[in-house]
């Protein structure tokens, strides 16, 4: 008679041995005490895993084929397509770093039960990368204006927002292994994948994109296992009292870091690159991050002496405001984009004011000016109407116009003879904890200091097939498109705000 799955799973854990030679040197040594045994709550066998994933992949493929045959993709809300040009490579970066992170954990944590969960997660993340690639191919073939989708991750690596994605997700794979678990499985997977892969598919469906909704809900069905990996690992290390202060500090830093990147990117996509908004991001954040993550975390780990993440009140304040600042910042930098940004109209203004009271006083004049300058015949950019370009935060890489555009909390510091900008107290705390991890790279503005804006666009390579028309545009019209000659005629010179 076939052994029950639990019995079979337990037997596989007995295939361990003590190596006769010295263990390989750890790439990232851990400060934590890690127990030799743990718990794999799913007790998943790979034969069962493969069967489940094949079924899910077939459903996603069927959804894309149905959209292609019915030609519904061409009818997706155009704003949403533009948002996907940015959202898909950001998701790919997150999945890639998560896959690397799972590999780091397999090789770094000598605990058979936990390693089983990490191995399944590594396969999951590879599958998610493939799904994102399949979606991108689908839109390239069927979307109404796919120009910009062809660049994918190459464009993200060149664009200023690419640094935000790198900053948000690199701690998942380049870290003390337990800190990586906390950043990836405890905070990102448990707190922030629900807004991204449950709430955002609702936005996609409301804007005519069922293929995206199906694919991302399929991704979310795997995230439950990844959450369990995080909770199983955290419970194992939390049972050792000496680990508690280390866990608390790591949790505080990771929660702030993921808020800066994940909250902002998801909120911008969900509210500024659509016409139909089924919810305000603030409300989705309250449901999934506060009620679900913070509530369950306190119940599960409060008895071990762990507290809810520090700066929760500051995060809540940022959720109310900072994606609005970043959205208009992206619009002002539109010549550098590989996606188009549609001006907001009266219906948009009404929705934002109703959901974020006070929004109109700060942002409506900026969006009206952006719309007025969308025609190249005006020969002027919104960028020229601003006092100067904001520096990028050295920690989270967001522009230093957060948490509020009208009241930024920028601080300029000097470290080992070099000046750095930090957007907030939260990022300053993270920088102080480990300056070396944040000072090994420059900023977008320092790379192009003194360049003409037209030459920056040429260096980025964001031109359409004719070699003249920019991929990024300040509108979604088919006429009145800006060319590289229009940008050069304006004569904007990029200046690094930290250079003087």
Check residue 47 and give its pLDDT.
66
Q: What is the mean pLDDT of residues 440-459?
A: 93
Looking at every residue in the chain, the average pLDDT score rounds to: 88
Residues sharing a CB contact under 8 Å with residue 44, sequence separation 6 or more, in sequence order: 9, 116, 117, 120, 225
- Which has more confidence, 180 or 7? 180
3-state SS record for the chain: CCCCHHHHHHHHCCCCCCCCCCCCCCCCCCCCCCCCCCCCCCCCCHHHHHHHHHHHHHHHHHHHHHHHHHCCHHHCCHHHHHHHHHHHHHHHHHHHHHHHHHHHHHHHCCCHHHHHHHHHHHHHHHHHHHHHHHHHHHHHHHCCCCCCCCCCHHHHHHCHHHHHHHHHHHHHCCCCHHHHHHHHHHHHHHHHHHHHHHHHHHHHHHCCCHHHHHHHHHHHHHHHHHHHHHHHHHHHHHCCHHHHHHHHHHHHHHHHHHHHHHHHHHHHHHHHCCCCCCCCHHHHHHHHHHHHHHHHHHHHHHHHCCCCCCCHHHHHHHHHHHHHHHHHHHHHCHHHCCCCCCCCCHHHHHHHHHHCCCHHHHHHHHHHHHHHCCCHHHCCCHHHHCCCCCCECCCCCCECCCCCCCCCCCEEEEECCEEEEECCHHHHHHHHHCHHHHCCCCCHHHHCCCCEHHHHHHHHCCECCCCCEECCCCCCCCCCCCEHHHHHHHCCECCCCCCC
Check residue 358 and give its pLDDT.
96
Cis peptide preceding 403, ω within 30 of 0? yes
Of 17-31, 105-119, 133-147, 470-484, give the lowest mean pLDDT range.
17-31
Asked if the model's pLDDT at residue 23 lies above 60, the reply is no
Q: What is the mean pLDDT of residues 118-139?
A: 89
The model's pTM: 0.90
Of 15-24, 138-147, 469-478, give the lowest mean pLDDT range.
15-24
Asked if the model's pLDDT at residue 74 lies above 80, the reply is no
Among candidate residues 400, 393, 398, 263, the one with its CA nearest the CA of residue 320: 263
Measured CA to CA, the distance from residue 284 to residue 157 in angstroms comes to 29
Q: What is the mean pLDDT of residues 417-446?
A: 92
Asked if the model's pLDDT at residue 122 lies above 80, the reply is yes
* Cα radius of gyration (the chain): 23
Residues sharing a CB contact under 8 Å with residue 387, sequence separation 6 or more, in sequence order: none
How far from 73 is each of 135, 146, 199, 277, 463, CA to CA, in Å? 11, 11, 20, 19, 24
- Judge contact between 38 and 230, C-beta under 8 A: no
Share of the chain above pLDDT 90, in %: 59
Measured CA to CA, the distance from residue 394 to residue 381 in angstroms comes to 26
Q: Does domain 42-320 have CATH number 1.10.620.20?
A: yes
Other Cβ atoms less than 10 A from the Cβ of 214: the count is 24
Measured CA to CA, the distance from residue 316 to residue 79 in angstroms comes to 27
Q: How confident is the model at residue 21 (pLDDT cuts 50, 70, 90)?
A: low
Q: How confident is the model at residue 2 (pLDDT cuts 50, 70, 90)?
A: very low
Asked if the model's pLDDT at residue 46 lies above 50, the reply is yes
Check residue 457 and give its pLDDT.
97
Asked if the model's pLDDT at residue 209 lies above 80, the reply is yes
Among candidate residues 73, 208, 207, 199, the one with its CA nearest the CA of residue 143: 73
Range from 128-142, 193-207, 477-491 that averages highest in pLDDT:
477-491
Check residue 114 and give its pLDDT.
81
Asked if the model's pLDDT at residue 247 lies above 50, the reply is yes
- Give exposure, 118-127, as e/b (b: 16+ Cβ within 10 Å): bbbbbbbbeb
Residues sharing a CB contact under 8 Å with residue 28, sequence separation 6 or more, in sequence order: 104, 108, 174, 175, 176, 177, 180
Q: What is the mean pLDDT of residues 117-131?
A: 88
Range from 1-5, 153-157, 165-169, 374-378 that averages highest in pLDDT:
374-378
Check residue 11 and give its pLDDT.
58
- Judge contact between 185 and 125, C-beta under 8 A: no
- Judge contact between 255 and 191, C-beta under 8 A: yes
Asked if the model's pLDDT at residue 54 lies above 80, the reply is no
Q: How confident is the model at residue 13 (pLDDT cuts 50, 70, 90)?
A: low
Check residue 6 and give its pLDDT.
59
Q: Which tokens is 376 given?
A: 């190249």
Asked if the model's pLDDT at residue 466 lies above 50, the reply is yes
Q: How confident is the model at residue 494 (pLDDT cuts 50, 70, 90)?
A: very high
Domain range annotation of the chain: 42-320
Asked if the model's pLDDT at residue 242 lies above 80, the reply is yes
């Amino acid at each position: 008679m076939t052994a029950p799955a639990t019995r079979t799973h337990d037997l596989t854990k007995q295939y361990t041995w003590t190596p006769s030679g010295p263990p390989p040197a750890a790439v990232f040594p851990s400060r934590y005490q890690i127990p030799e045994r743990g718990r794999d709550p799913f007790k998943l066998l790979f034969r069962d895993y493969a069967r489940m994933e094949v079924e899910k992949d077939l459903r996603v493929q069927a959804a894309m084929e149905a959209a292609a045959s019915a030609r519904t993709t061409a009818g997706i809300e155009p704003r949403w397509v533009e948002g996907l040009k940015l959202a898909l490579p950001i998701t790919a970066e997150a999945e890639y770093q998560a896959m690397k992170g799972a590999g780091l954990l397999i090789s770094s944590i000598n605990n058979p039960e936990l390693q089983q969960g990490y191995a399944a997660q590594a396969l999951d993340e590879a599958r998610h990368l493939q799904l994102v690639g399949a979606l991108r191919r689908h839109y390239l073939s069927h979307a109404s204006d796919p120009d910009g989708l062809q660049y994918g991750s190459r464009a993200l690596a060149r664009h200023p927002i690419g640094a935000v994605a790198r900053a948000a997700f690199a701690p998942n794979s380049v870290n003390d292994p337990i800190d990586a678990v906390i950043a990836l499985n405890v905070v990102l997977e448990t707190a922030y994948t629900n807004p991204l892969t449950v709430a955002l598919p609702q936005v996609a469906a409301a804007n005519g994109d069922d293929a995206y909704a199906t694919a991302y809900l399929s991704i979310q069905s795997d995230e439950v296992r990844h959450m369990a990996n995080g909770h199983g690992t955290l419970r194992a290390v939390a049972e050792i009292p000496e680990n508690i202060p280390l866990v608390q500090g790591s949790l505080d830093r990771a929660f702030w870091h993921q808020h800066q990147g994940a909250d902002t990117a998801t909120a911008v996509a969900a509210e500024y690159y659509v016409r139909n908004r089924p919810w305000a991001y603030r409300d989705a954040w309250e449901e999934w991050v506060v009620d679900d993550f913070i509530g369950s975390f306190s119940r599960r780990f409060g008895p071990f002496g762990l507290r809810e993440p520090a700066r929760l009140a500051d995060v809540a304040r940022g959720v109310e405001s900072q994606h609005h600042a970043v959205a208009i910042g992206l619009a002002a930098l539109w010549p550098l984009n590989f996606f188009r940004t549609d001006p907001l109209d009266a219906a948009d203004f009404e929705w934002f004011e109703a959901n974020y009271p006070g929004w109109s006083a700060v942002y409506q004049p900026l969006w009206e000016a952006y719309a007025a300058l969308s025609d190249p015949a005006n020969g002027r950019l919104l960028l020229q109407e601003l006092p100067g370009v904001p520096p990028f935060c050295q920690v989270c890489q967001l522009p230093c116009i957060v948490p509020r555009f009208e009241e930024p909390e920028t601080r300029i510091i000097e470290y080992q003879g070099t000046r750095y900008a930090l957007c907030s107290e939260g990022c300053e705390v993270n920088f102080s904890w480990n300056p070396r991890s944040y000072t090994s790279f420059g900023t977008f503005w320092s790379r192009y200091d003194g360049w003409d804006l037209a030459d920056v666009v040429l260096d980025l390579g964001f031109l359409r097939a004719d070699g003249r028309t920019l991929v990024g545009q300040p509108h979604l019209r088919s006429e009145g498109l800006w060319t590289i000659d229009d940008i050069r005629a304006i004569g904007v010179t990029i200046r690094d705000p930290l250079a003087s």
